Amino acid sequence: MAKIGNIAKNTSYLTLALVLQKVISFTYFTLLARHVGPANLGKYYFAISFTTIFAILIDLGFANVLTREVAKNSEKAGKWLSNILILKLPLTILALVAVFILINVLGYDSLTKNLVYISSICMVLDSFTTTFFAVVRGFHNLKYESISSVIFQLIVLIFGYGALLAGGGLIAAMLALALASTFNFVYSLIILKRKIKVPLKFVYDKALIKEIIKIAWPFAVYAIFQRLYTYLDSVLLSVLAGDVQVGLYQIAFKIIFALQFLPMAFTASLYPAMSSYWQNNRGQLLISFERAMNYLIIISLPIIIGTIVLADKIILLFSQGYSAAVLPLEISIIALFFIFINFPIGSLLNACDHQQKNTLNMGIVMLVSIVLNLLLIPRLQAVGASLTVLITNFLMFILGMYWVKKIIPYRYGKNLKIFAKVLFASLIMGIIVFLGKKYLNVFLVTIIGAIVYFLLLMNLGGFKKEDFLSVLKSFKR
């Protein structure tokens, strides 16, 4: 019972931190976008995307190994940490050298180079912070990591926006990010040594090093695929279309990224249940999967329709200089449907010991994404990158469902019925919002639209009282 209570507590910490983190992060992004304009916003996020890709060279799945092995035997935490740090140190040097060489070969201006150099400091600090917190996770403690993630965003918001108001420019904003990364690094190290009481020593063990590499490589492959898929589009946009297009694309990217806390929080509690049902109750596993798909359809479709209808108003949050971001946003937001329902698909594959299928799917999607970006960005710029996001997330859904049907006796019928009801209610909501936005405040018309949507959906039988109670129960589990 104590273990169940601990899982519930950790889920609560993680969910709350995730929500706060996304809210603070999106607030800062909005302020930054309004202050610096599309071109400078593009430079800032190119630097972050560029170094984030190279960050995987430092970790290579080690964090996953640490958490899993420490959870199995906490007494050996120091030994595992020690040897992983020995592996990470030369990899850190390799990543930094690679960043330095490539950014200079690409011939970027001095401002962009300096942003990349500062961002590379964040890259290193964040990687070691992740390692330290991976050990803490192995002790079934997410409290300190959750606190740290929120404080990190607050530091970026306060010092970053303060620097911009003081006329510090992009370099000062990036230094604020480095300050937050430094805090996280120091904080995680203190928690590791004083609260978790894991000694930080460098003791080389050749046999253990080999074991770490053997265990880590599947995690590393997936992480490389996932990192390239998520961030390479911004880098390619910068190289092929320029900084302004990166800035315009980031509007859609950040809105979608901010909304992902909804399926992330939901599947955080869904995954342990699926793992248990896979072992003990296959019938309940099917029911849980179908319900998860239903709930995420109910959440995602009205957000998509509402965003498409209000895209021109939403863009004004970031200033009129981003008017060209309306079409990329309208295209990218459609992908939100597939992004949301891909979460329970991925959770099912992982819970049923089919992690390698997720890795295979991600590898295929990454390759398709690279090809499409190379073809579409030179012709359509930010719109091309947005189309790639939509196509590849749809592909990820198709690939995932292929394996789902081999694991459980899934039929599309129940989810399609809900989809039809939700789509109808969302379209009616969209019409009301479209007509109302001409005369009413955008926030008021959004509230009216949401009320109309849920009332109509409940009358159609698409969402019932027991569904609402079930969702609440899943977050409390």
35 occurs within a structural domain: yes
Tell me the CA end-to-end span of the chain in Å, nearest whole number. Answer: 12
Q: Which residue has the tokens 């976008």?
A: 33
Q: Which two tokens stand for residue 192?
A: 């590791």
**Is residue 316 situated within a structural domain?**
no
Q: Residue 375 falls within a domain, yes or no?
A: no
The predicted structure's pLDDT at residue 3? 45
* Identity at 393, one-letter amino acid code: N
pTM: 0.86
Tens-level pLDDT at each residue, the chain (477 residues): 444 444 555 566 677 777 888 889 989 999 999 999 999 999 999 999 999 999 988 988 888 888 878 877 777 878 888 898 899 999 999 999 999 999 999 989 999 999 999 999 999 999 999 898 888 888 877 788 888 889 999 999 999 999 999 988 899 999 999 999 999 999 999 988 888 877 777 777 788 888 888 888 888 888 899 889 988 999 999 999 999 999 999 998 888 988 887 887 777 667 767 777 777 777 888 888 888 888 899 999 999 999 999 999 989 888 878 989 999 999 999 999 999 999 889 888 877 777 788 889 999 999 999 999 999 999 999 999 999 999 999 999 999 999 988 888 888 888 899 999 999 999 999 999 999 988 888 889 999 999 999 899 888 877 666 655 555 555 454
Q: Are 74 and 139 in contact (CB under 8 A)?
A: yes
CB-CB contact of 83 with 131 (8 Å): no
Full domain range(s) for residue 22? 1-204
Q: Flag whether 306 is in a domain.
A: no
Query: 3-state SS string over the chain?
Result: CHHHHHHHHHHHHHHHHHHHHHHHHHHHHHHHHHHHHHHHHHHHHHHHHHHHHHHHHHHCCHHHHHHHHHHHCHHHHHHHHHHHHHHHHHHHHHHHHHHHHHHHHCCCCHHHHHHHHHHHHHHHHHHHHHHHHHHHHHCCCCHHHHHHHHHHHHHHHHHHHHHHHCCCHHHHHHHHHHHHHHHHHHHHHHHHHHHCCCCCCCCCCHHHHHHHHHHHHHHHHHHHHHHHHHHHHHHHHHHHHCHHHHHHHHHHHHHHHHHCHHHHHHHHHHHHHHHHHHHHCHHHHHHHHHHHHHHHHHHHHHHHHHHHHHHHHHHHHHCHHHHHHHHHHHHHHHHHHHHHHHHHHHHHHHHCCCHHHHHHHHHHHHHHHHHHHHHHHHHHCHHHHHHHHHHHHHHHHHHHHHHHHHHCCCCCHHHHHHHHHHHHHHHHHHHHHHHHCCCCCHHHHHHHHHHHHHHHHHHCCCCCHHHHHHHHHHHHC
Residue 350 domain flag: no
Is residue 428 one of the residues assigned to a domain? no
Per-residue CA distances from 257 to 242, 317, 365 (Å): 22, 17, 18
Q: What is the total count of domains within the chain?
A: 1
**Is the residue at 107 inside a domain?**
yes
Burial class (CB in 10 A: 0-12, 13-18, 19+), 421: buried
In the block, tokens 């089919």 appear at 354
pLDDT for the residue numbered 261:
79
Residue 438 lies in a domain: no
User: Phi and psi (nearest 5°) for 379?
Assistant: -90, -40
Task: Centre a 10 Å sphere on the Cβ of residue 264 and count the other Cβ atoms it contains.
Answer: 16
**Residue 164 and residue 96 in contact, taking contact as beta carbons nearer than 8 Å:** no
C-alpha to C-alpha distances, 353 to 63, 269, 289, 347, 407, nearest whole angstrom:
19, 18, 16, 10, 10
